[in-house]
């Protein structure tokens, strides 16, 4: 009896491990942070942004990485300025740690740029101008 229970446990363990390999090979869900090959990641917590982004973004609107970097530099400076002065403190509740000399990759730069556009449209706050 003990041997059959041990054998059954061994078979179940092998089956469970094979299921983990299958799950590990899948692509991440669309709600997960965008990860670029540069090793940086961006986490956007706003639940409405994903839906808004899927409706607004299309490859025909895509720009160069340099364009996104330039616009993000303006957006981050304005965002952090509003945060430090306490302006829009009910809407802007965090500081963005951004280094303008670092190339974060096009995926990160694109998502951050579109997040600023989303904020401008949703809350009527000037970030990219």
DSSP string, 44-87: ---HHHHHHHHHH--GGG---HHHHHHHHHHHHHHHHHHHHHTT
How confident is the model at residue 129, as a pLDDT? 86
What are the pLDDT digits (tens) for 23-47? 334 333 444 444 445 688 888 888 8
pTM of the model: 0.68
Tokens of residue 107, six digits: 């995926």
- 3-class SS at 31? coil
Is residue 119 within 8 A of residue 93, CB to CB? The reply is: no
The percentage of residues in the chain with a pLDDT greater than 70, rounded to a whole number, is 71
């Amino acid at each position: 009896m003990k041997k059959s229970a041990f054998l059954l446990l061994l078979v179940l363990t092998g089956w469970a491990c094979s299921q983990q390999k299958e799950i590990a090979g899948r692509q991440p869900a669309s709600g997960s942070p965008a990860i670029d090959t540069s090793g940086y990641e961006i986490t956007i917590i706003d639940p409405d942004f994903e839906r808004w982004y899927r409706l607004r973004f299309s490859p025909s609107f895509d720009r160069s990485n340099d364009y996104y970097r330039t616009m993000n530099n303006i957006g981050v400076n304005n965002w952090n300025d509003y945060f430090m002065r306490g302006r829009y403190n009910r809407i802007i509740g965090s500081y963005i740690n951004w280094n303008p000399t670092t190339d974060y990759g096009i995926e990160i730069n694109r998502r951050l740029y579109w997040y600023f556009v989303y904020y401008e449209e949703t809350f009527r706050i000037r970030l990219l101008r």
